Amino acid sequence: MLNFEKTSLIHAPVEAVWRFHERPDILNILTPPWQPVQIIRREGGLGVGAVSEFRLWIGIVPVQWIAVHTECEPQHYFVDEQQTGPMASWRHRHQFEPQNGVQNDTQNGQGRSPQGEWTKLTDAIAFSLPGGQAVESLLAGWVQARLSDMFDYRHRVTKLHCEPQQTHKS
């Protein structure tokens, strides 16, 4: 079993970040433009039983990916698990934690802010590749790098959509 985690501080209250993730077009917004992914459907919002279906391409081969939401505590977390797809297993927990008061966001180069509400957004994924440990030992670094690229993009987009405009500097 492999693990990946990405955490960012978003200068917005949990309610705003959660609402952003509830948008019907959220998969289109959060899918990086370079990824060969087609969103087929999204049904049920963020709650238990919600379904997201994708078609991705591995080379010229289309692969169906269906993820089902198996856990949800509104404005705290939701979990999606692969039902059909390219992984041997996939469990993705999306965590939203309030962080009030002074925050030190040096990871993202934003220094300290003494005011306002913040959300600690964490994407934690536990997954296995088909083919077992031999394949994982060969491909783990490549998969981790792809996940890092994708979630760096997703967290940047979330910040752009949820944070007040004055917090974004060129």
CATH number, residue 104 = 3.30.530.20
Q: What's the domain range around 123?
A: 2-167
Express as a percent the part of the chain with pLDDT over 70. 88
Is 132 strand, coil or helix?
helix
pLDDT at 142: 94
Residues 6+ apart with CB under 8 A from 89: 1, 81, 82, 126, 127, 128
What pTM was estimated for this model as a whole? Answer: 0.86
**pLDDT per position as a tens digit, 42-101:** 999 999 999 999 999 988 999 999 999 999 999 999 999 999 999 999 999 999 999 976
**Tally of domains in the chain:** 1
